[in-house]
Structure 1
């Protein structure tokens, strides 16, 4: 089984943004050393518990501190950005690190409505940008290609068509992936012949249906001749199941607060999470999240991972290591997240 990593660059209550980035840099280096296939960072905005606001900036940083990993976005939320800006950023990353860059694209805003408005700027981009998502996706693909995009202009402005390209002399292109957590993304990926990743770590529901539709309706393209997909899953692996359950609790509580509309803060330390009194709605979300995650001892985790790979018919799994830390941990490190990658690699790589 191939293993990869998804990282939201979590910010614990004992960390600054600098600490969180330092911890994720160490995590990426751990994945690189262990032979993980790819390492993706997400795009979220105005969230106290997430430092991953700009995937291309983080990818450039991580690529400079690793040697073999494919670095990518999981993903860039395209309605927040002009297609040409995204194409230029990732074409430049590919030029700097040939053969190592993935561009994962999503349709969700990755933020609240106010933050989305601020991201889109004075031009006043709105819901029409979400509706135009398939066209924007085509634009990004074409702009990163060697041929570029021909723009029709009035004859009095220019006699010939104007060509837009992300780089003047692209040799290779980033690998494009479509991300999603609904049937919409499965349909679009199948229709456009794109590699596809369903956000099982976040949605947890509808994964089988989405992947089945994608495979059965896939239309081959220049980007993929056959269906290509893998599974994302939350994971905490420790020496014992009890230890893993303690380490995953802060993340599960944060998801419970998010889905019940409660205020969010930085990711709690384990001791603080264990002291919280939870209502039944949050507890139900925690229980469901625990069932969907890979969590336990190495033997437990390997059995769970292989069962998921068989259930969803994938030969690559993207691990989202969500362990928190104990009070007194060096803020610039995330030892339990590193241990999750170490213990899984020891059994599966």
Structure 2
């Protein structure tokens, strides 16, 4: 049985902290802080930030730091990671970071964990230098073990570690009174199997691939085993979104992200995100334009009524009662560097009654 799907699904936000041409990292962070405040005021369920490294158009390199900033700037919305790429980090470091965030903002912190590196091989090596012995292969192979370690270390009782025949108590924080909500993230079947086996909530990265969603969610629901954390499957999916007063304007605002994703998928050089006007002037070869159009067809793009209907259809199709939107609207020339008004409009229009 899947979750009961509400006629109007709950809404959440995914943010990669995009960086556009001539914008500084600090200005991009300021724009995301304002976006989180809009989501908070509009009644969104949660606001997650991703982990990506060494990308000219993405400033979300360190989710715990950004989460602390956003939680301090908002009042009620849950704030979390979508996600922390666990192979890049020691499990204890992740447990300590999120235990502290939960202590500071009890009941508002989500820890979404992923298995992908979130970067290129050279950056992955630099991240893990002096870290997990065995490199990328071992870090990924021990992912399930490390997830279990994070869960145990964040609990109030901590975990016992055997060293030289003695048991040593290890806790992420001395006196925890609550723990972050843990989610497993995935864009393939692996995390669906693991989340089901461990009885953990699961999120499919529909925004990234748009394929395999139904299969992954079916695996998760079929194999789910109740746990101390969760007695029934709990899941939602993510989707890219651009919403404006008209369909044409929404498509225009989505084009900078379209071109960015096209470059990523075809191995073209990456740079800061283009403005809406710059993106409109880019002419693509027919084969690339066809690829870009196919990507856009899997996004939520249109006026408010169209977009809300698309979100409701997604929720009904996949049997979820929550949809997390990644507002991908580009900025027009002359937009203040510390603001993202088009992304804010997407959130307001989707949430409007």
Partner of 1:69: 77
Question: Partners of 1:134 and 1:299 in 2: how far apart?
Answer: 42
Contact 1:256 1:283 in 2 (8 A): no
Deviation of 1:230 (Å): 0.7
Q: Which of 188, 195, 201 pairs up with 2:201?
A: 195
Partner of 2:3: none
Q: Which of 66, 74, 78 pairs up with 2:86?
A: 78
Partner of 1:14: 22
Partner of 1:118: 126
Question: Partners of 1:321 and 1:128 in 2: how far apart?
Answer: 35
Indicate the RMSD between aligned Cα atoms, in angstroms: 0.9
Q: Which of 243, 246, 253 pairs up with 1:247?
A: 253
Report the TM-score, using the length of structure 1 for normalisation.
Answer: 0.97
Consecutive unaligned residues in structure 1, runs of 5 or more: none
| 3-state SS of paired residue (1:75) | strand
Partner of 1:205: 211
Question: Partners of 1:244 and 1:14 in 2: how far apart?
Answer: 23
Partner of 1:220: 226
Match status 1:322 vs 2:328:
yes
Partner of 2:44: 36
Match status 1:238 vs 2:227:
no
Deviation of 1:149 (Å): 1.5
Partner of 1:181: 187
Deviation of 1:341 (Å): 0.3
Q: Which of 124, 142, 146 pairs up with 2:152?
A: 142
Question: Partners of 1:59 and 1:276 in 2: how far apart?
Answer: 35
Deviation of 1:199 (Å): 0.1
Partner of 1:129: 139
Partner of 1:4: 12
Deviation of 1:151 (Å): 1.1
Deviation of 1:314 (Å): 0.6
Partner of 1:154: 164
Partner of 2:289: 283
| 3-state SS of paired residue (1:44) | coil
Match status 1:301 vs 2:307:
yes
Question: Partners of 1:87 and 1:24 in 2: how far apart?
Answer: 25
Contact 1:8 1:43 in 2 (8 A): yes
Deviation of 1:146 (Å): 1.3
Question: Partners of 1:185 and 1:166 in 2: how far apart?
Answer: 24
Question: Partners of 2:194 and 2:286 in 1: how far apart?
Answer: 37
Consecutive unaligned residues in structure 2, runs of 5 or more: 1-8
| 3-state SS of paired residue (1:171) | coil
Match status 1:310 vs 2:316:
yes
Question: Partners of 2:285 and 2:93 in 1: how far apart?
Answer: 44
| 3-state SS of paired residue (2:191) | helix
Question: Partners of 1:35 and 1:74 in 2: how far apart?
Answer: 19
Question: Partners of 1:6 and 1:100 in 2: how far apart?
Answer: 15
Partner of 1:24: 32
Contact 1:253 1:282 in 2 (8 A): no
Question: Partners of 1:212 and 1:42 in 2: how far apart?
Answer: 25
| 3-state SS of paired residue (1:161) | strand
Question: Partners of 2:285 and 2:211 in 1: how far apart?
Answer: 23
| 3-state SS of paired residue (1:152) | strand
Deviation of 1:279 (Å): 2.4
